[in-house]
Amino acid sequence: MGREVSESCVDNLLIEMVSSYCDRFYANKPELAARRIEAIGYQVGHQLSERYTMERPRFSDHLEAIKFICKDFWSEIFKKQIDNLKTNHRGTFVLQDNQFRWLMHMSIDPSSDGSGLSHDASGALVDNKAAQAASMRLYFPCGIIRGALTNLGIPCAVSADISNLPACSFVVRIKV
Amino acid sequence: MIVCVAVVGQQNNPLYIQSFTEADDALKLHHIVHCSLDVVDERVNNPKKSGPMLNETFLGLLYPTENYKVYGFLTNTKVKFILVTTDLDVRDADVRNFFRKFHAAYVDAVSNPFHVPGKKITSKTFAERVSNIVKSFGMGSTG
Amino acid sequence: MEEYPEELRTPPVGLISLVGCPELHQMISTHLHSEKPPVNTLALPDFSKISIMAKTPKDTGASGNTQPAGILKRDWLLKHRTKMPAVATALIPADHVSGDPAQWNQLCTHLDQLKAVISPRNIKLVVVVVQASSRDDFNEDRMIALRKRAEVDFKYIITFSLNVESDLKQSLNRLGILFAELINVYYRDEGHRIKTCIEKKTYNYVELCIRYCFKVAVYAEFRRDWVEALKFYEDSYHALREMIATSTRLPARQRLVEIKTLAEQLHFKISTLLLHGGKIIEAVLWFRQHCASYRKLIGAAEVNFLHWEWMSRQFLVFAELLETSSRTVPGFPSLISLAMDKSLTEWEFQPAYYYQLASHYLKEKRSCLDLSLSMLEASYEIDGSAESVMPSIYVGQFARLLEKSDGVISMQLLTDEEFIHYAVAEGKRFQDSFEIIALLKKAFDIYSSLKATRMASHCGFHMAKEYFYTGETSKAKESFESVVHLYRHEGWVTLLWEILGYLRECSRRDGSLKEFMEYSLEMAALPVSSNAGIHSFSHREFGPAGPPSFHQREVIHKEALGLVSRGPGFTSNGDGNNLHLAESSLHLEIDLVSPLRVALLASVAFHEQLVKPGIPTLITVSLMSQLPVAVEIDALEVQFNQSECNFTILNAQKSPSIATSVNQQGYCREEIVPSLALITNKWLRLTYDVKSDRSGKLECVSIIARIGSHFTICCRAESPASMGDVPLWKFEEHGESLPIKDPPLSLSGQKAIQVEEPDLLVDVNLAASGPALVGENFVVPVTIVSKGHAVDFGELKINLVDSRGGGLVSPREYESFSTESHHVELIGISEPDGDDKSQVGSGNIRKIQHSFGLVSVPYLDNGGSWSCRIEIKWHRPKPIMLFVSLGYSPCSDDANAQKIHVHKSLQIEGKTPIIVSHRTMLPFRCDPLLLSRIKLAAADSDRPAPLPLNEASILIVSAENCSEVPLRLISMSIEHDDASESSCTVCSANDDLVDSVGPALLMPGKEYRKVFSAVPIERSQKVKMGTVCLRWKRDSESHEQSYSSSPEILTRHRLPETDVELSPLVVCLECPPCAVLGDPFTYFVKIRNETELLQEIKFSLIDSYSFVSSGPHDDTTFVLPKSEHILSYKLVPLASGMQQLPRVVATAVRYSAGFEPSTSALTIFVFPSKPAFEMGKSENGSESVFLAAE
């Protein structure tokens, strides 16, 4: 039984989810919208981790679990592994995906914004807006990572960094 | 014969517990399942003692009580599956097979988007599936 | 284990017997007992007692061909351990051997008797000849005869000498070795004999096989051959197991009892041997097998309790064995890991596991016994026939004692029916509950120590149940309570339900209504419903509460609330219910960790985070309950930390009588709502506005729900933002809603709000200028201006605090209490009219301390103002914080109204205004020889130079303005510290130059100097020169009036003490103050000798180019005591201007000190021509003034 999903469907779903929460349900409260999107990701990650760890022995430490996220878990979702994993050995891990699939089709071009703002004044604003939209979308994968790790017994906080698109880094801070 | 199966959550809270006996010992089975968690803890906390079974999800026989044998299974997500049987002679492979199917059923049940992680499993489909798995226990089926 | 006979419990020990010479028995038996392995002794004082060892005639009859009456005689083991020695020892005194024939004959008879007794049993014989003294000579012939008579090998006849200590010891050792050897031989032979019987199968009955194997094993144990013992015990055990199906000898029930009893013995032996050998895994496996093979042999229904009792005992005994060996066997835990692959589990190595199961089987026994009893009692009464039944001679059999008419007692075997009677009657005698509790207690303790909390709790729970059913309510409650939290914590609702049911019943028995209500409410609010997988719960299982179901919850809920709604004074009726509501009402508390949070949860959120005082803000009180039936609340009291904000919400449906009863307690805000019904799992949301007049935190503390007239629940308020999940329900799949409709508020809402400070309507101004100067009374004007409302009962608090944190009082000077001891001091507070004198008399000033002052402020109308001046004096330069706070009531009519406080603070630097310094100089052109100065020059130049006695020295005092404001100096003088004894006269060199001109203006950074001449008149190490008194004031820019008003300030500076020294020689240069070109003048060098000695002085004149000189050049002269030698030179100036006089260098030979006048002393101004002004006054200038050029 194949477990394949059309990529564009996933993209559309993501776009729809972000816009629903940001522009409709919590139009003026971005932090609440972010919280909701993250919570959805959390549940998805929670459930996926249950499935993807089914046939494997238990992890003996945190690093093993993180490696699992980087390799098998990421492969299951994105058909590729995390490109780079860094850690300070004190509970912080940075997972970098050089071609993060869920941002690849996102336009960062200001002209596509179509909001009719005058060019000279709004350049920075549009850039800012695009980055904001991208970061909204990233609450979902952050939630997925947090959900998966939490379910594996590693409570943590996850944030994303998109300073050099389309690469995306997820920073995992394990709570002690 | 399997008399009881249970799913126990990360905080050692019961997520699903079902007994399959006609006799009125369901409560006793609850006690047995609860007590068996001590052995699970013991095996996880002292992995040296478990020797070759290090980090295997299948924990084997947890303890024999007066009438029952209790087997355990611990997933990566610290969810415990407990099996209580009255059979004296149980093949290890059968138990492993049972747990594998039980686990699969559990994963399907919790993947339901309407299921909230950490809550009890109330799905009827899951209950049916589990009772089928229980019925086929020891039949040597491959599925 | 204790109920087993001693001979079974301990490993057998070889036995020998001693006959004759009773005085030695004690010594020999003690020695043998301490041997390794020990040997027991059967001591027979004389030969008449030897029949005890004799073989009974019955023994001979036992052969392999008749049906044995039993398997094993009960006394066999005991007999072999206490009555059947392996070796018989005849102790014969040596004098009897060598004595007269009568003694010899007697001895021979005894030996013959002994031989006759022991030979059928193959007991070995040893003859010991006791030598009481070395004088006893040995008759070799007699010894040989003795040997022949005794028919023993020569080595079994030993002599035992008592006389020497070393000999005695040696004899004992020899005896010990000999016995050990013979014991070994004896038991080996015996074992061998029986083994051949087994091998040849000379028996027809399996009973004999069991018996033989048992005997062989025991004999092997005597020899400490554990391996063989184990093997034969096992053989015996297996043979016994096979017998179950085949034997027909006894009535069926008793047969099983006999077999089990024997199996128990054999199993005990095997387990003991295995455990003592450290083979724990084998022992556990053996035990498992033992139980498995006998478990099902329950036997007849009437006596099945015997089976369970037997099973329980197996577990108990094994637990005890395991417990003792786990203490003795090292490396016990490591064995466990080895066992894992043999499908053994952790608990099977723990005695607790076996104790627990022992209790389980004992419970089984009890229930079966109860059943048997009821069956028997139903059919017929148990008669007294059981009394004459006792254990028969065979292990595991019982017989009736029959006393025949002739007094002969005989045993009669029982029929099965009789046996049942007997067994039931015996069983009735025991109280199993205590035993069960004891077993569970042991298991509980061990599991607790292993941190197996769930196992321990399980045992604790069963213990509690046992207490409960035996009627020990308090112990039951204690035990239940100790385990209930685990089930609460882990959310095992069904198990929790069961325990709570018991606890509820306990509190019902105790009559504790409060606890009953708590447990009832908790149970009623538990997440149990009839569907989820617990349909198979039977009623019997669940104890008093019944099976968990929604219906049962409703029943409990209604019962509990029914109880409290009935009001005080009622006593519930029937079924041992002694609950009653006391006179006062029932009050329950629910805090943040209470299990009753499921019954009532209160979430309180303010809609805002900040509010102005007096401005209403919205608060939402949300209540939720999981109780199965809707609860109608009569009234809700919402309580805040500011009690004036409290309000009550009343239910309009309830009778107004409640409302009035609440209202009687005093003024209270009331709100009325049409209904206050709390529906299961639904938030009851109530929003009201709250207004606080007091600034600070306003927090909702608790919500008190009043249900009925006498029942209240006080529920701690929780913030929605930090509200934890409801215990137990968090695992349920049930609809959840937010406590407040607004989602952000229910995520972030807080039960506390910050009430801001009110807007200031009164201004307090502190107008201070610049830094304060040490010594002056620094004035800080304070102005209070009312801008919004009147100021009444105003009170101004003034506080000085060291802004660096240190105290304002220096600790060193603290004791003196003088004003000087305070570095900074609050001098006073004066009214604006400047009437300083009225301060003290005025009632306005209430209190002034060194750093604290309090002054009352008169009534001020709106717009009015009032001011005062605070005077602060600095004694030391120190920065301080001045805090001024005004407290007042805004309206005059209500004195109790909330006071308003206005705080102001100001940091003021205290600075030293003037630094006074001084230096001393020697008189001009006068050079006293100061001996210490010569020494000093080398040592340290820092120390001030001593002053010459009786010579006028010059003292220059300078005052530098180091403040930032111009100061005006009024006067500078030097006062003596104590006028009575002036050791030094100091006087101003010029007559009050400053004062005559008026105060000298001293700009910042500038210095003022004044010259004094000081003549020490007392020779002393420390001469006080006095204190400089400096009067000054601030130089105000706005001239006259402030100039006059600002008072003079006196700064005192004490001059340091100086050394005064008598100079032996003084050299003075005398010349006119100035000269005229070409005009000759006289230049004197006066050498004054102040000593009583003749002084030799060498001097020389170094010529100057500017002068022509006449007079002595290089020479040596002697100065008489107390006289003066004058060198006089005539000089003619050759050049005009500043010129250097010829230098005279004098050397005092006595002190080898030279005089060399300084360059300035030698400088003289030469006029080109005679000036046209009067110079008369400067004739004596050389000894008066020298002002520094700057």
Cis preceding linkage at C1072, omega within 30: no
CB atoms within 10 A of CB C725: 11
**Given A46, A54, A152, which is nearest B117 (Cβ)?**
A46
Q: What is the DSSP letter of A57?
A: P
- C-alpha C908/C-alpha C773 separation (Å) is 10
Element (H, E) at A150: helix A119-151
Q: Kindly report the pTM of this predicted structure.
A: 0.68
Write the CATH number for A168.
3.30.1380.20
pLDDT at C1073: 80
Say whether residue B55 is in contact with chain A using an 8 A CB cutoff.
Answer: yes
Residues of chain A neighbouring B10 (CB-CB closer than 8 A): 153
Name chain A's partners: 3 or more CB pairs within 8 A. B, C
Residues of chain A neighbouring C738 (CB-CB closer than 8 A): none
The answer as to whether A1 is a domain residue is no
Say whether residue C332 is in contact with chain B using an 8 A CB cutoff.
Answer: no
- C-alpha C1071/C-alpha C1073 separation (Å) is 6
**Tokens linked to A126:** 């549009």
Q: What is the pLDDT of residues C1059-1075, one digit of tens each?
A: 777 778 888 888 888 88
The answer as to whether A2 is a domain residue is no
CA of A18 to nearest chain C CA: how many angstroms apart? 18
Using alpha carbons, select from B72, B63, B19 the residue that is nearest to residue C458: B63
**What average pLDDT is seen over chain C?**
76
Containing structural domain, residue A142? 7-174
Residues of chain B neighbouring A58 (CB-CB closer than 8 A): 55-57, 74-76
CA of A89 to nearest chain C CA: how many angstroms apart? 32
CA of B22 to nearest chain A CA: how many angstroms apart? 33
Chain B, 116 to 135: residues with Cβ < 8 Å from chain C are 116, 118-120, 122, 127
The answer as to whether A91 is a domain residue is yes
Chain B, 74 to 133: residues with Cβ < 8 Å from chain A are 74-79, 103-104, 106-107, 110-111, 113, 116-117
Residues of chain C neighbouring A35 (CB-CB closer than 8 A): 747
Instruction: List chain A residues with pLDDT less than 70.
Output: 1-3, 106-131
pLDDT at A112: 41
- C-alpha C482/C-alpha C457 separation (Å) is 8
- Residue B81's pLDDT band, with cuts at 50, 70 and 90, is very high
Please count the CA atoms within 13 angstroms of the CA of C669 that sit on its side-chain side: 13
Name chain C's partners: 3 or more CB pairs within 8 A. A, B
pLDDT at C946: 72
The answer as to whether A112 is a domain residue is yes
Say whether residue B56 is in contact with chain C using an 8 A CB cutoff.
Answer: no
| 3-class state of residue C981 by DSSP | coil
**Given B13, B27, B42, which is nearest C346 (Cβ)?**
B42
Chain C, 246 to 305: residues with Cβ < 8 Å from chain B are 292
- C-alpha A142/C-alpha A154 separation (Å) is 14
pLDDT at A143: 92
Which of A21, A24, A28, A32 to mutate to test binding with chain C, by most C CBs within 10 Å of its CB? A32
CA of B101 to nearest chain A CA: how many angstroms apart? 11
Residues of chain C neighbouring A30 (CB-CB closer than 8 A): none
pLDDT at C337: 54
CB contact under 8 A, C494 and B120: no
Say whether residue B46 is in contact with chain A using an 8 A CB cutoff.
Answer: no
Which of C312, C337, C361, C454 to mutate to test binding with chain B, by most B CBs within 10 Å of its CB? C454
Torsion-angle region of residue C640: left (phi > 0), alpha (psi -120 to 50) or beta? beta
**Given B47, B74, B76, which is nearest A56 (Cβ)?**
B76
CB contact under 8 A, C747 and A29: no
Torsion-angle region of residue C847: left (phi > 0), alpha (psi -120 to 50) or beta? beta
* Residue of chain A whose alpha carbon sits nearest to that of C744: A32
CB pairs under 8 A between B and C: 111
What is the residue whose two structure tokens read 């997820």? A170
- One-letter amino acid at C1010 equals K
CB pairs under 8 A between A and B: 50
What angle (nearest 5°) sits at the alpha carbon of residue C670, between those of residues C666 and C674?
Answer: 145
Full set of structural domains in chain C with CATH: 1-247 (3.40.50.2300), 367-430 (no CATH), 433-565 (1.25.40.10), 586-755 (2.60.40.10), 762-910 (2.60.40.10), 914-1061 (2.60.40.10), 1065-1183 (2.60.40.10)
Residues of chain A neighbouring B77 (CB-CB closer than 8 A): 49-50, 53, 151-153
* Residue of chain B whose alpha carbon sits nearest to that of A57: B56
Say whether residue C735 is in contact with chain B using an 8 A CB cutoff.
Answer: no
CA of A55 to nearest chain C CA: how many angstroms apart? 23
- Is the separation of the CB atoms in C806 and C898 below 8 Å? no
Q: What is the pLDDT of residues C278-326, one digit of tens each?
A: 778 888 888 888 888 887 777 777 778 888 888 888 888 888 888 887 7
- Residue C1109: exposed, middle, or buried by beta-carbon count in 10 A (0-12, 13-18, 19+)? middle
CB contact under 8 A, B42 and C491: no
CB contact under 8 A, A153 and B55: no
Say whether residue C536 is in contact with chain B using an 8 A CB cutoff.
Answer: yes
- One-letter amino acid at C807 equals G
- Is the separation of the CB atoms in C492 and B36 below 8 Å? no
CB contact under 8 A, C743 and A35: no
Say whether residue B10 is in contact with chain A using an 8 A CB cutoff.
Answer: yes
Residues of chain C neighbouring B61 (CB-CB closer than 8 A): 343, 345
Which of C349, C449, C483, C492 to mutate to test binding with chain B, by most B CBs within 10 Å of its CB? C492
**Given A47, A53, A60, which is nearest B75 (Cβ)?**
A53
Residues of chain B neighbouring C292 (CB-CB closer than 8 A): 88
CA of B8 to nearest chain C CA: how many angstroms apart? 10
For chain B, the domains span 2-135
**Given B14, B60, B61, which is nearest C491 (Cβ)?**
B14
CB contact under 8 A, B77 and A152: yes
Residues of chain B neighbouring C443 (CB-CB closer than 8 A): none
Of residues C680 and B47, more confidence is placed in C680
* Residue of chain B whose alpha carbon sits nearest to that of A65: B76
pLDDT at C602: 87
Instruction: List chain C residues with pLDDT less than 50.
Output: 59-64, 532-534, 573-576, 659-664, 810-819, 834-843, 980, 993-997, 1038-1044, 1177-1190
pLDDT at C1178: 45
CA of A58 to nearest chain B CA: how many angstroms apart? 5
| Helix pair C226-246, C252-276: axis angle to 10 deg | 160
pLDDT at B7: 92
What is the complex's ipTM, to 2 decimals? 0.92
* Residue of chain A whose alpha carbon sits nearest to that of C745: A32
CA of B53 to nearest chain A CA: how many angstroms apart? 10
Residues of chain A neighbouring B75 (CB-CB closer than 8 A): 50, 53-54, 58
The answer as to whether A89 is a domain residue is yes
CA of C738 to nearest chain A CA: how many angstroms apart? 15
Is CATH 2.60.40.10 what the domain over B2-135 is classified as, yes or no?
A: no
- C-alpha A147/C-alpha C1042 separation (Å) is 80
Residues of chain C neighbouring A29 (CB-CB closer than 8 A): 744
pLDDT at C287: 86
- C-alpha C1102/C-alpha C1104 separation (Å) is 7
Tell me what the mean pLDDT of segment B112-124 comes to: 84
- C-alpha C908/C-alpha C906 separation (Å) is 6
- C-alpha B2/C-alpha B16 separation (Å) is 15
User: How many domains is chain A partitioned into structurally?
Assistant: 1
